[in-house]
Chain A
Amino acid sequence: MDNFNMLAMILAGGRGSRLFELTNKTAKPAVYFGGKYRIIDFPLSNCANSNINVVGVLTQYEPVQLNAYAGAGQRWGLDTRGSGVYVLPPSEKDGTKFGVYQGTADAIYQNIDFIDEFNPGYVLILSGDHIYKMNYDKMLADHRRNDADLTVAVRPVPWDEAPRFGIMNCDMNNRILEFEEKPKEPKSNLASMGIYIFDWDLLRSILIEDAKNPESSHDFGNDIIPRLLNEKKRLFAYNFNGYWKDVGTIDSLWEANMDLINHNDELDLGDLQWKIYTSDIPSLPQYVSPTGRVEHCYINQGAVIRGFVKNSVLFNNVKIQEGATVVDSVLMPGVVVEEGATVNRAIVADKVIIGKNAVVGSADSEKILLVSEDVKGEN
């Protein structure tokens, strides 16, 4: 790997506890999104499309599904010679106690040996739980043009929401002067997206020092960035203006799915220049029976629709039986809605069966209902 090459590390250890039962048995990056994808398909496809060949996926919480899924790099074309997707759970190391990843920086620190194997010029740090399309190659070009030590991707957020984010205060040339975590009175509305490009040599030495510091929480936002600013390193912001969504809650996951039904959908998964890759499932095209009716929907192959569906996102092998009604809902793979049942404003987790004539969710409810267990029918 020559020095211009960039290796990516995806932080995929988070539990995503605000997704409740959806992440009981699987980590957040493995959660389904958009009719056929999982959240982690987005950073991985972005990497593949940005010509990044080596991707480490740092897993920790309930990693079984995620490890099996991310380990098969051919899904994203990341299986040629010199490329690969490597799943990196915490591991026992000589001279240290077997431990979990203490923080985002510690997760990278524990994998210094892995990164050294490839001797990259740059390391891209990503989070595994956001929906967006981004060309990291362009961000790297920016990083090199600025002769930066660290480049942080930022996006403008509404001013009234800025106090919820890590905010970057920059000069005219996008050089970061100050970083404020959740400021009460923000001076800027440019929020960090948790996407960083570091020069590997610099990051490596900083991580080693940070690991020795008992006061540190070993976190990029809390410890590493403030430290680099203190040391007057060259930190730059990279502006991103496209679609970006943190799908950390049931409501935001539902909203992001609903965005896809919108014709002027910014995410545009149909863009031939920037496809999102995912696992390939053999199934017939979607089937709408003579009794079926669809209106304003986003539907994947393998779905069978014999009832009425409106304003909804249906994953592969969802079955909606005759007389059933599904409105304003997201139905994950293998969900069956039996005869006469009604589903309204809900996210239904994979393989859940909604029994005959059952009524789930309500058109008037403000919150989106998460259905993660079979619902008994009535006769």
Chain B
Amino acid sequence: MVNALGIVSFTSPNIYVRGIGKYRPAAAFSYVGRYRLVDIPISNMTNSGLQKIQVYTNGDPKVLFDHIGSARHYNINNKHGHVSIIPVRADRYSQDYVSDLEAYYTNLDEIKDDVNEYVIIAPVNWIYKANFADVLQQHIDSKAGISVLIHHEDNVRNQSEYLNANIVFRKENDKDALERIETYIGQPEAGNGSKFDISLDTYIMSKDKFIKMVEEGHEYSKLYWMTDMINHLISQDKLSVNLINYDHPVFPILDLATYYRSNMAMLNEFNMTFFNDPNWPIYTRTNDSPPTIYLGEGSASGALISNGCEISGMVKGSILGRGVKVGKGALVDACVVLPGAVIGDGVYLTNVIVDKDAQIIRKKELTGFDDLPIYIDRRGII
């Protein structure tokens, strides 16, 4: 057991995945065929020994209630452990403007009642595998007010990979100290090959500190997010920040291109082995789908394919969700296909994201770019 309350945070409005984001909160985005993004932080937490977890969510929470349910599938003892889902309440203004701090504020009584002494806050839109028990110990040893998990990128191939990520700026005179966290909006000088310290939006602090920050934030500005509050407190010399570097692979979900890329990244065998760790399983809700069947000329190569699929065509370098049908003579190449989609006979798809239950049966060929895939609407008939 780890002496910490787990908090799964929601994304700020600048994280927007075109199409996919229209239908569900980021926590519910499909990931690598059979998962939803929320499975990653919850599994990290339960594997680390956290037992009490609160999932905060903006957008329509319905699908999360279905998916998380009793949370027993996350390998949690549901007597002394619990996963609660806390949808954002927006009484006065648009839900998009409710900050993470405001969401915590509305639930502060429950947070105060929790017996754990620390909180660990993790986002849904950064895919990584971290042992929070170790991270918490590092935080305690540092004696800092708050610890932030960061990832150092030494040689950024393409600065657009991190558009809208939070970047950590260190103090000029003290490279170990944080000056501010800022959303990266593509400064021209930070070209290819530049170095980034990316914040993984993962915070560790004592619960007392957390409660104080939430209450102060609420007083100060209702539009202040956690990052704003950290910057504010640093500027007033009221917060010491410990940066913990996480030097394993991380995958961001920041927009449609990174959503696509971070799914595809799992086709790389190094990444696959890293994440498919029997000692660190990623849990998800089972759908009791039967195994996948390959019929006729159906085959696959370089692909991850979930259960319940029926494959009569060719699947290449793609990721298929549960229950996808690929028709005779069809070619699915470098695509991310969400559950229940139908790719008709003889249809050729390259670099396409197909949303849930869409049917591509009329149009015979769709080709996107590898850095800008075509997106097909949920339940759309194309």
A188 part of interface (Cβ distance < 8 Å): no
Q: A34 touches which one: B32, B282, B283, B291 (CB < 8 A)?
A: B291
Q: How far is the CA of A34 from the CA of B289 in the complex (A)?
A: 12
Most chain A C-beta atoms within 10 Å of own C-beta, residue among B288, B289, B301, B310: B288
Measured CA separation A270–B276 after assembly (Å): 26
Question: Do A289 and B301 contact each other (CB < 8 Å), given the known contacts A280-B286, A282-B283, A284-B32?
Answer: yes
In B217-243, the 8 Å CB interface with A consists of none
Known: A282-B281, A296-B295. Contact between A288 and B290, CB under 8 A?
no
With both beta carbons as reference points, the residue of chain B lying nearest to A301 in the complex is identified as B307
Distance in Å: Cβ of B31 to nearest Cβ of chain A: 11
A271 smallest CB distance to B (angstroms): 9
Within 8 A of A (CB), among B317-365: 317, 319-320, 323
> A283–B279 Cα gap in the complex (Å)?
11
Asked whether, in the complex, the Cβ of A34 is within 8 Å of the Cβ of B302, the reply is no
- A287-B290 in contact given A270-B308, A282-B284 (Cβ < 8 Å): no
| B283 to A: closest C-beta gap in Å | 5
Interface string of A254-287 (1 = CB under 8 A from B): 0000001101000001100001111010111111
Report yes or no: A286 in contact with B292, Cβ–Cβ below 8 A.
Answer: yes
Find out whether the CB atom of B294 lies under 8 angstroms from the CB atom of A297: yes
The answer to whether B302 touches A299 (Cβ under 8 A) is no
B250 adjacent to chain A (CB < 8 Å): no
Q: Is the CB of A293 within 8 A of B292?
A: no
> Quick one: which of A34, A282, A283, A293 contacts B299, CB cutoff 8 A?
A293
Given the known inter-chain contacts A280-B73, A293-B299, A294-B299, please indicate yes or no for A285 contacting B289, CB distance below 8 A.
no
- Complex CA–CA separation, A293 to B73 (angstroms): 32
**Complex contacts, A290 vs chain B, CB 8 Å:** 301-302, 317
Residues of A within 8 A of B294 (CB): 294-299
- Min CB–CB distance B340 → chain A (angstroms): 11
Q: C-beta contact mask, B255-274 vs A, less than 8 Å → 1, else 0? A: 00000000000100100100
A221 at the interface (CB under 8 A from B): no
Q: How far is the CB of B91 from chain A (nearest CB, A)?
A: 36
> Are B307's CB and A282's CB within 8 A?
no
Q: Which residues of B contact A295 (CB under 8 A)?
A: 294, 297-299
Q: Does A65 contact B (CB under 8 A)?
A: no
* Residue A163 at the chain B interface, CB threshold 8 Å: no
Least CB separation from A312: chain B residue:
B294
Task: Answer yes or no: B125 CB below 8 A from chain A CBs.
Answer: no
| Chain A interface, number of residues (Cβ within 8 angstroms) | 36
Q: Are B304 and A286 in contact (CB under 8 A)?
A: yes
Task: Please report the C-alpha to C-alpha distance between residue A291 and residue B300 in the assembled complex, in whole angstroms.
Answer: 10
Q: Is B72 an interface residue (CB 8 A)?
A: yes
Instruction: Give the number of residue pairs across the A-B interface with Cβ within 8 Å.
Output: 108
Is B151 interfacial (CB 8 A cutoff)? no
A290 and B300 alpha carbons, distance in the complex (Å) = 8
Q: Nearest-CB distance from B373 to chain A (Å)? A: 19
Question: Are B288 and A286 in contact, with the CB atoms below 8 A?
Answer: no
Q: From B299, B306, B315, B317, give the contact of A301 (CB < 8 A).
A: B306
Chain A residue, CB-CB nearest to B322 = A285
| A283, B323: Cα distance in complex, Å | 17
A3 contacts chain B at the CB level, 8 A cutoff? no
A292 at the interface (CB under 8 A from B): yes
- Give the residues in chain B near A314, CB-CB below 8 Å: 291
Contact with B along A34-64 (1 / 0, CB 8 A): 1110000000000000000000000000000
**Does A300 interact with chain B (Cβ within 8 Å)?**
yes
Tell me if A216 counts as interface (CB < 8 A to partner B). Answer: no
Asked whether any CB of chain A lies closer than 8 Å to the CB of B123, the reply is no
Nearest chain-A residue to B269 (Cβ)? A289
B291 touches A300 (CB 8 A): yes
Are A285 and B34 in contact, with the CB atoms below 8 A? yes
The chain A residue with its CB closest to the CB of B291 is A35
By beta carbon, the residue of chain B nearest A292 is B301
CB distance from A281 to the nearest CB of B (A): 9
CA distance A35 to B309 in the complex (A): 14
In the bound complex, how far is the Cα of B308 from the Cα of A249, in angstroms?
28
Query: B residues within 8 A CB of A297?
Result: 293-294
Question: Using Cβ atoms and an 8 Å threshold, which residues of chain A touch B323?
Answer: 270
Give the residue name and chain of the B residue nearest to A261 (CB).
B293
Once the chains are docked, how many angstroms separate the CA of A35 from the CA of B290? 8
CB B309 to nearest CB in A, in angstroms, measures 9
The answer to the question of B275 belonging to the interface, with a C-beta cut-off of 8 Å to chain A, is yes
Of listed B276, B300, B317, residue having the most chain A CB within 10 A: B300
> Does A74 interact with chain B (Cβ within 8 Å)?
yes
Pick the contact of A276: B269, B288, B296, B298 (CB < 8 A): B288
Q: Which residues of A contact B293 (CB under 8 A)?
A: 260-261, 263, 297-298
Q: How far does the Cβ of A314 sit from chain B's closest Cβ, in whole Å?
A: 8
- A311's nearest neighbour on chain B, judged by CB, is B294
Complex Cα distance, B295 from A314, in Å, reads 15
Q: Chain B residues with Cβ under 8 A from A286's Cβ?
A: 292, 304-307
Which residue, B266, B291, B302, B323, has most C-beta atoms of chain A within 10 A?
Answer: B291
Restricting to A115-143, which residues have a CB under 8 Å from any CB of B? Answer: none
B33 — nearest CB in chain A belongs to which residue?
Answer: A285
* A209–B304 alpha-carbon span in the complex (Å): 60
**A284 CB contacts on chain B under 8 angstroms:** 32, 34, 266, 272, 275-276, 282, 304
In the complex, the answer to whether B307 meets A300 with C-beta atoms within 8 Å is: yes
B204 to chain A, nearest CB (A): 26
| Complex contact A285–B301 (CB within 8 A) | no
Check if A278 sits within 8 Å of B288, measured CB to CB: yes
Interfacial residues of chain B within 17-74, with CB under 8 A of chain A in the complex: 32-34, 72-73
Known: A284-B276, A299-B294, A299-B305. 19 other contacts (CB 8 A): A34-B290, A263-B293, A270-B289, A270-B308, A282-B282, A282-B283, A284-B282, A285-B307, A286-B305, A287-B272, A289-B301, A290-B302, A293-B301, A294-B294, A294-B298, A295-B298, A296-B296, A300-B291, A301-B307
Q: What are 16 inter-chain pairs, A to B, with CB distance below 8 A?
A: A34-B291, A36-B291, A36-B307, A263-B295, A270-B308, A276-B288, A282-B284, A283-B281, A284-B266, A284-B275, A285-B320, A288-B302, A292-B301, A293-B299, A295-B298, A298-B293
Q: Which residues of A contact B (CB under 8 A)?
A: 34-36, 74, 260-261, 263, 269-270, 275-278, 280, 282-301, 313-314
Q: Which 7 A-B pairs have the closest CB atoms?
A: A35-B291, A269-B290, A282-B281, A280-B286, A288-B300, A290-B302, A300-B291
